[in-house]
Amino acid sequence: MNRKQLVVGNWKMNGSLSDNEALLVGLSAADDLSGLDVSVCVPYLYLAQTREHLAAGNISWGGQNVSEHDAGAYTGEISGSMLADFEVSFGLVGHSERRSFYAETNELVGIKARKLLSVGITPIVCVGETLKQREAEETFGIISAQLEAVIEQIGLENLGRLVLAYEPVWAIGTGLTASPEQAQEVHEYLREQVALLDEAAASSLRILYGGSVKPDNAEKLFRQADVDGGLIGGASLNLIDFLTICRLAI
Ligand code: PGA
């Protein structure tokens, strides 16, 4: 199965109208990314600015979170339909920063994935283990539980509509990267888990790797059989680095 690679920038809580301008102008001018899907997940407030710059091109945009509710008295929250209003293609759910700083449970992540699907947005479901869990050889158990909770919410019939991102918590923003072999081992495991439930979904499923992906380590990661692209944090804030990483995925 030849899966089209996907590279997603995760700006996290970074940016300003003026900083974004340069980044977005640069991204929209990149005309050598065909054969690859590229997206940027920006802070909510900048979705309008991002859409304005990217709408005419091939790079899509996404949100970094979504409310588990549809509407109403949830001060400070943003719903799936609000994201859909800004034509986002993707929404991150289950990022380890949300899980650890905002106590998001596996079940909540599943509900958020379901809310995104209900408005036609593709959830990028992040899974990953901490260093302690890896050392205790709990990696597979942890990511299976994270995945199962999502499947329980969205239903087997929607498995083929997900993107997964394996992000070992110990590699996010730390400069430590999973080796290509470590990444491949987990990606293969994830695909096998999905294949047990739906073979067609497993073969088309895109599993991104995230965690300190940089221009100098991206190529080997992207060459692994079950790595279908990357979720790029820090390096997505630098236009040259991000475009270099994108090109290494083609
Ligand atoms: P990083 O972040 O590339 O800065 O490690 C990845 C992510 O958190 O999505």
**pLDDT tens per residue across span 179-236:** 999 999 999 999 999 999 999 999 999 999 999 999 999 999 999 999 999 999 999 9
- Catalytic-role residue among 53, 68, 167, 187: 167
User: Catalytic site residue 137?
Assistant: no
Q: What mean pLDDT do residues 147-156 have? A: 98
**Whether the CB of 9 sits within 6 Å of ligand 1:** no
221 neighbors 183 (Cβ within 8 angstroms): yes
What's the pLDDT tens digit per position in 72-88? 999 999 999 999 999 99
Is the minimum distance from the CB of 236 to ligand 1 under 6 angstroms? no
| pLDDT reported for residue 1 | 63
For the question of residue 77 being annotated catalytic, the response is: no
What is the Å distance from ligand 1's center to 239 Cα? 15
- Six-digit token pair at 189? 């495991």
- Name the β-bridge partners of 41: 10, 62
Nearest to 68 by CA among 82, 52, 79: 79
pLDDT band at 178 (very low <50, low <70, confident <90, very high): very high
Q: What pLDDT score does 2 carry?
A: 78
Angle value at C-alpha 170, between 169 and 172, nearest 5 degrees: 65
Q: What is the mean pLDDT of the chain?
A: 97
HSE-CB at 7 with a 13 A cutoff on CA atoms is: 29
CA-proximal residue: ligand 1, atom 7 (nearest): 233
- Provide the H-helix boundaries in the chain: 17-29, 47-54, 80-85, 96-101, 106-118, 131-135, 139-154, 180-197, 199-204, 218-222, 239-248
Distance of CA 71 from the midpoint of ligand 1 (Å): 30
Judge contact between 211 and 177, C-beta under 8 A: yes
pTM above 0.95, yes or no: yes
